[in-house]
């Protein structure tokens, strides 16, 4: 316990004490707790899908069931979004449903967000992480990098990720970790999504990476909007369910999720163009966030009508409550995420 506490104290980021951001988070949480669909304040977390193209076909990924077009976010659209978020949103994740390192300008995008004063997080499957991309990524001063592996043996890796490249990925990751500096990335985790296929390897996976001083993130399988049986079946445990919940979904008050083509959807679990709430090619973030479609969507959640909402009726994502809401108001998302990995997964 003392060891964990020491790690947590070291993780508390002094740059995180930003009064504007704190005020914004408090306003957002007040709106949520008071069940106000119209929000005073900006989203706390921005999810930008720089691309929905990918070099893998993982069995738990909703990409395989996605019907929308594939593409890369145009840098001018990206710049417009970040310019609007500058000074208001302090945490951005540059991925949703695709491999972000495939975007030819990804490191330029990270640097742009860093110059705008944001914490930047990325999740990669590690395949494009060659020597040259590794160097650029380290030089970009990204804050939080997740490397998803999901297994410790080539057989499990290939069963889950549909690729025979385990050796290559492992070598990419080992080289990247050797080259990283203490300043960049500030936080790296290797991730395993828990499912039946890898249930027997969790301890070996954890031991292997922790022995190398790398943080491990064991993530419960996400069933996204819950409408793909092939993904629901992979779960190794019974998830909490929102069915019948009286709590509106807090994601609608805190997160803004944008597809590569500028489409805004209610949250980062929605993988197709369902329940679309806006388009950042022709609207501003404020237009969408405070617009009638988003307000109406929150109102339906407040009225506990989620069972009647196509994209939410089967979703098993649990709403934040109690101390989690307090923590999300007081502490910035980057610090919360880093503390969360220490508390729950190591
Ligand atoms: S690497 Fe990520 S985005 Fe690509 S198929 Fe796998 S889970 Fe989906
Ligand atoms: S209930 Fe699920 S699908 Fe609906 S907004 Fe919340 S997290 Fe997204």
pLDDT tens string 192-235: 999 999 999 999 999 999 999 999 999 999 999 999 999 999 87
Q: How far apart are CA 51 and CA 121, in angstroms?
A: 15
Phi, psi angle pair for 256, to nearest 5°: -120, 125
Q: How far is CA 76 from the centre of its chain?
A: 23
Least Cα distance to 221 among 321, 311, 316, 341 occurs for 316
Q: Which two tokens stand for residue 298?
A: 């929150």
Among 7-16, 143-152, 322-331, name the most confident range. Answer: 143-152
Distance 59 CA to ligand 1 centre (A): 9
Distance 213 CA to ligand 2 centre (A): 35
Q: How far apart are CA 53 and CA 77, in angstroms?
A: 18
Could you read off the pLDDT of 265-291 as tens digits, one per residue?
Answer: 999 999 999 999 999 999 999 999 999
**Percent of the chain at pLDDT exceeding 70:** 90
Q: Which two tokens stand for residue 131?
A: 């020597």
Q: Which two tokens stand for residue 129?
A: 């992480």
Residue to mutate, 249, 256, 306, ligand 2, most ligand atoms under 8 Å from C-beta:
249
Return the ligand 1 atom nearest residue 57 CA.
5
Return the ligand 2 atom nearest residue 266 CA.
5
**C-beta of residue 58 within 8 angstroms of C-beta of residue 28:** no
Distance 244 CA to ligand 1 centre (A): 31
Helix H or strand E segment including 190? strand 187-194
Quick check: CB of 315 below 6 Å from ligand 2? yes
Nearest CA to ligand 2 atom 6: 249
Residues 6 or more apart whose CB falls under 8 angstroms from that of 180 comprise 138, 188
Distance 23 CA to ligand 1 centre (A): 35
């Amino acid at each position: 316990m003392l060891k964990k506490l020491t790690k947590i104290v070291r993780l508390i980021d002094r740059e995180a004490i930003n009064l504007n951001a704190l005020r914004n988070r408090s306003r957002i949480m007040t709106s949520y707790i008071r069940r106000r669909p119209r929000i005073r304040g900006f989203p706390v977390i921005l999810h930008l899908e720089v691309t929905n193209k990918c070099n893998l076909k993982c069995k738990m990924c909703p990409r395989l069931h996605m019907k929308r077009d594939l593409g890369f976010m145009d840098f001018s659209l990206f710049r417009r979004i970040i310019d609007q978020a500058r000074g208001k949103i302090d945490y951005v994740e540059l991925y949703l449903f695709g491999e972000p390192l495939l975007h030819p300008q990804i490191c330029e995008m990270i640097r742009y967000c860093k110059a705008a004063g944001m914490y930047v997080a990325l999740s990669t499957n590690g395949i494009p992480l060659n020597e040259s991309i590794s160097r650029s990524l380290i030089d970009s001063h990204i804050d939080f990098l997740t490397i998803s592996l999901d297994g410790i043996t080539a057989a499990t890796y290939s069963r889950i990720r549909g690729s025979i490249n385990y050796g290559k990925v492992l070598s990419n990751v080992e080289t990247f970790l050797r080259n990283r500096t203490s300043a960049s990335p500030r936080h790296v985790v290797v991730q395993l999504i828990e499912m039946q296929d890898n249930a027997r390897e969790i301890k070996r996976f954890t031991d292997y990476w922790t022995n190398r001083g790398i943080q491990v993130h064991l993530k419960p399988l996400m069933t996204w909007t819950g409408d793909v049986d092939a993904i629901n079946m992979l779960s190794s445990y019974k998830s909490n369910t929102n069915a019948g919940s009286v709590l509106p979904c807090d994601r609608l008050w805190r997160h803004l999720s944008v597809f590569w083509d500028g489409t805004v959807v209610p949250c980062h679990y929605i993988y197709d163009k369902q329940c679309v709430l806006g388009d950042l090619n022709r609207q501003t973030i404020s237009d969408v966030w405070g617009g009638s479609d988003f307000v109406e969507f929150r109102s339906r959640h407040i009225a506990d009508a989620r069972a009647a909402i196509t994209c939410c009726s089967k979703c098993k994502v649990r709403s934040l409550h109690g101390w989690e809401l307090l923590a999300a108001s007081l502490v910035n998302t980057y610090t919360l995420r880093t503390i969360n990995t220490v508390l729950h997964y190591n």
